A and B are shown apart, each in its own frame.
Chain A
Amino acid sequence: MEGSFSHKKVFLLGNPNCGKTSLFNALTGERRHVGNWPGVTVERIEGGREHKNFKLTFIDLPGSYSLNPFTPEEAIALTILDEASNGLFLNIIDSGNLERNLVLTFQLLEIGIRPILVFNCYDELLTKGGKINLTEVQNQTGCLAITTIAPSKKGIPELLDLIVSEQKAENRSVPMGLSDFWQSAMERICKSQGLTFFDLSPSKRLEAENILGGSTEATPDAKEIREQLFSSLSESARLTSHTSSNLACFLALNRYERIRKFISTCLTLEKEIKIEWKERLDGFLTHKIFGFPILIALMILVFWTTFSVGSIPAGWIQQALGWLSQTGKDYLPEGLVSDLLINGLLAGVGGVLVFLPNVLILFLWLAILEDSGYMARAVFLMDRFMQTLGLHGRAFIPMAMSLGCNVPAVMATKILEDPLQRLRVIFLLPLVPCSARLPVLVLLCGAFFPRHPSLVLFLLYFINLLVILILGRVSQSLFRSSRDSYFLLEMPPYRWPTPRSVFLLLWEKASHFVKKAGTVILCGTILIWFLSSFPRTVPLTQDFDEAISELSKQGPSEQIEKQIEILASKRDQEQLSGRYLAKIGNQLLPIVKPIGFGWREAILRFFMFPALQPLELFIVKVNRWGLLLFR
């Protein structure tokens, strides 16, 4: 029955953070990145599904506050206006924040687009004590309307039915357009260019509106129309109290006035319930004095739990592995093969598994930070500090995400508007130790600094941070950009991360980590095994084995055991320093000696390179970067 399918394109348009991607995921079954801060989605994403003989293609877009684009991402959303007029628009509206969300809706209506109105986050409106009268909405706007709760998939089947039944996004007549005053001015502007408003495509209509609002350069004719409009508006505004010095302001005022009327007829607020804990929490988390300490404490908590709590289940895994390698040693004949199996492969696989708890805890924290709404607050707190590095506070988001994985973090740099800043952050990001690098670091710290592995690890992280700060500073003085950027960041409401979404996220991250880190670390450990076991015979200063067996013949006593131990460790050290690993380290020594490093540190630095993933980043993302930078 392939042939009987009809195709339909459905575009998801709405304010940032209103739940477009959540809805997209619910509609298509995909698992795209969702986060409780504005600007998560930065590019057009497509996904499909079938419903009642229809093949539906859904297109998720970056959020936009209005049709007057302010960021490059919003401009992406605009490019689809005409393409979509043969498909369908879903205008996602955050019900908890109706007034501002409706600005986009009303603008769409003004230029003759008839979207399906999806009142998402309906649960939040209900808890505030509000209700939307859908029939009234449909009567007034001429659009289909529905309420949904994306994370729990409430209203999704009904929405699919609506999508299938709805015909076309564009509407020649404008059921709920601009007020007559403005509408006639707009039609006159079109006429002055020899066009008819009602025959124009949505994007052309928008152009006319922009000329009226003053954001587009106007012809002399249009200027005159604007001046007339302005003087008559100021005249009538003198009667009311609200006046303004420019037309754009009058236009926005007019729109908000219509929105206010619309809401008063379509929304019933039985009793307004204020959620006080959220306000208090916000006052606390962004407090002038406590804000910073809380942020730092949170970051320390993230790291502390990642390492210390994570090490408990890691210990169990280690025990299991130890048992496995012991039984392996017992049953396999001694030799190079068993050495490779046990010290190379098993150690490698184990090396990955042992870190799974740490990595999962790290991702759990990142999910909580992102879904709760704290990310935006962190940006708010960090902005001034980041400015001293010549970066926008938003750079904190990719930096924090980078602790998990560098690749999505590079994508997240799109929230930085200045391309030069974006480039600088992209080059700083590989310096942030991501979760896949953590095992390598722990492994090497354990191998080379057996006495204080965790201290060295923390030191490494700290040095890392310093290096990032210094390089950030240096890069700022090298590439000072003249463009002043804007802050203008909506603080999303605090939300509880849903257990389901967190679980799914962790599951995904775990399998991703095992796959990705698995290959890198497995190869790494086998390489290290090879370098530290070859050449097989190393000239020793004395025959340690002989001496040990002689000692052990003298019968068991505490002193002798100690001596044996000392001899054994001396033997191992001498052997190790004869192997390739040490030779490479010694080769590197002249480079690192001036800083006061020995060959062990040199090796450590050396092995950090395969773990640094810039190379992989380059290959995978190079085309994306191209788009990103030279857009």
Chain B
Amino acid sequence: MVRVKYTLADLQAGNTGTVRDIEQSNSLTNRLMDLGFLPGTKVKALCCAPLGDPLTFFIRGYCIGLRKSEARLITLDREDPTA
């Protein structure tokens, strides 16, 4: 059975999640790590663009836009998003 991963792309706008891991290792994921997407980091989903694709996130005091395909590389802890 395939366990469905809970990633940054699934985070609802306005909610905050905690990064669990970035599994792959390539230049893109390395960049995401340098930008601060690391295990234990809190990320808030701000909004998504009108056509639903790029999303903006608030992390470590700044704001960044990612496409869904990029946000999917970052897995989140499953937890009560309202907590």
Nearest CB in chain B: distance from A101 CB, A: 9
CA distance A493 to B64 in the complex (A): 11
Whether the pair A487, B46 counts as a contact (CB closer than 8 A) is no
Residues in A83-119 with C-beta less than 8 Å from chain B: 96-100, 103
Whether the pair A380, B22 counts as a contact (CB closer than 8 A) is no
- Flag whether A289 is at the interface (Cβ < 8 A): yes
* Contact partners of A96 in chain B: CB under 8 A: 61
Nearest CB in chain B: distance from A81 CB, A: 17
Whether the pair B62, A490 counts as a contact (CB closer than 8 A) is yes
Nearest CB in chain A: distance from B48 CB, A: 6
Whether the pair A68, B23 counts as a contact (CB closer than 8 A) is no
Instruction: Decide: A292 near B36, CB < 8 A? Known: A248-B29, A488-B70, A489-B65.
Output: no
Instruction: Decide: A68 near B31, CB < 8 A? Known: A249-B21, A487-B65, A487-B70.
Output: yes
Whether the pair B54, A253 counts as a contact (CB closer than 8 A) is no
Whether the pair B47, A97 counts as a contact (CB closer than 8 A) is no
Whether the pair B50, A249 counts as a contact (CB closer than 8 A) is no
- Flag whether A385 is at the interface (Cβ < 8 A): yes
Whether the pair B70, A65 counts as a contact (CB closer than 8 A) is no
CA distance A359 to B54 in the complex (A): 33
- Flag whether B11 is at the interface (Cβ < 8 A): no
Instruction: Decide: A288 near B23, CB < 8 A? Known: A241-B40, A244-B39.
Output: no
Q: Quick one: closest B residue to A97, CB to CB?
A: B62
Whether the pair B34, A489 counts as a contact (CB closer than 8 A) is no
Select B66's contact among A100, A384, A487, beta carbons within 8 Å. A487
Select B65's contact among A70, A103, A491, beta carbons within 8 Å. A491
Select A248's contact among B25, B39, B56, beta carbons within 8 Å. B25
- Flag whether B78 is at the interface (Cβ < 8 A): no
Nearest CB in chain A: distance from B21 CB, A: 5
CA distance A256 to B39 in the complex (A): 11
Nearest CB in chain B: distance from A479 CB, A: 22
Nearest CB in chain A: distance from B20 CB, A: 9
Nearest CB in chain A: distance from B70 CB, A: 6
Nearest CB in chain A: distance from B31 CB, A: 5
Q: Quick one: closest B residue to A128, CB to CB?
A: B61
Nearest CB in chain A: distance from B51 CB, A: 4
Instruction: Decide: A249 near B39, CB < 8 A? Known: A286-B49, A381-B49.
Output: yes
* Contact partners of A98 in chain B: CB under 8 A: 61
Whether the pair A99, B38 counts as a contact (CB closer than 8 A) is no
Q: Quick one: closest A residue to B32, CB to CB?
A: A488
Nearest CB in chain A: distance from B73 CB, A: 11
CA distance A548 to B60 in the complex (A): 81
* Contact partners of B40 in chain A: CB under 8 A: 241-242, 253
Instruction: Decide: A383 near B30, CB < 8 A? Known: A488-B66, A489-B64, A490-B62.
Output: no
Instruction: Decide: A103 near B54, CB < 8 A? Known: A241-B40, A287-B47.
Output: no
Per-residue CB proximity of B4-47 to A under 8 Å, as 1/0?
A: 00000000000000000111110111111111101110000011
Nearest CB in chain B: distance from A619 CB, A: 37
Instruction: Decide: A68 near B48, CB < 8 A? Known: A100-B60, A241-B40, A490-B63.
Output: no
Residues in A374-424 with C-beta less than 8 Å from chain B: 376, 379-381, 383-385, 387, 393
CA distance A244 to B23 in the complex (A): 7
Select A249's contact among B38, B48, B51, B56, beta carbons within 8 Å. B38
* Contact partners of A385 in chain B: CB under 8 A: 51
* Contact partners of B61 in chain A: CB under 8 A: 96-100
* Contact partners of B63 in chain A: CB under 8 A: 282, 490-491, 493
Residues in A497-533 with C-beta less than 8 Å from chain B: none
Whether the pair A380, B38 counts as a contact (CB closer than 8 A) is no
Per-residue CB proximity of B49-77 to A under 8 Å, as 1/0?
A: 11111101000111111110110000000
- Flag whether A147 is at the interface (Cβ < 8 A): no
Nearest CB in chain B: distance from A154 CB, A: 23
* Contact partners of B52 in chain A: CB under 8 A: 384
CA distance A66 to B52 in the complex (A): 30
Q: Quick one: closest B residue to A240, CB to CB?
A: B40
Q: Quick one: closest B residue to A487, CB to CB?
A: B67
Which of B49, B53, B56 counts the most A-chain CB atoms under 10 A from its CB?
B49
CA distance A100 to B22 in the complex (A): 18
* Contact partners of A65 in chain B: CB under 8 A: 31, 34-35
Nearest CB in chain B: distance from A347 CB, A: 46
Instruction: Decide: A288 near B47, CB < 8 A? Known: A253-B38, A380-B56, A488-B65.
Output: yes
Whether the pair B34, A384 counts as a contact (CB closer than 8 A) is no
CA distance A66 to B31 in the complex (A): 8
Whether the pair B39, A242 counts as a contact (CB closer than 8 A) is yes
Whether the pair A380, B36 counts as a contact (CB closer than 8 A) is no
Instruction: Decide: A282 near B38, CB < 8 A? Known: A99-B61, A246-B23, A393-B54.
Output: no
Residues of A whose CB lies within 8 Å of any CB of B are 65-66, 68, 70, 96-100, 103, 213-215, 241-249, 252-253, 256, 282-283, 286-289, 291-292, 376, 379-381, 383-385, 387, 393, 484, 486-491, 493
Query: Which 8 residue pairs across A and B have the least CB separation, nearest first?
Result: A384-B51, A252-B33, A66-B34, A491-B63, A242-B39, A487-B67, A242-B40, A384-B53
Residues of B whose CB lies within 8 Å of any CB of A are 21-25, 27-36, 38-40, 46-54, 56, 60-67, 69-70
Known contacts A244-B39, A488-B64; 8 additional CB pairs below 8 A are A252-B34, A376-B65, A380-B54, A380-B65, A487-B65, A487-B66, A490-B62, A490-B64
29 contacts between A and B (CB under 8 A): A65-B31, A65-B34, A66-B31, A68-B30, A96-B61, A99-B36, A99-B60, A100-B36, A100-B60, A100-B62, A215-B25, A242-B39, A242-B40, A244-B21, A244-B38, A253-B38, A253-B39, A286-B46, A379-B65, A380-B54, A380-B56, A384-B53, A486-B67, A486-B70, A487-B67, A488-B31, A489-B64, A490-B62, A493-B62
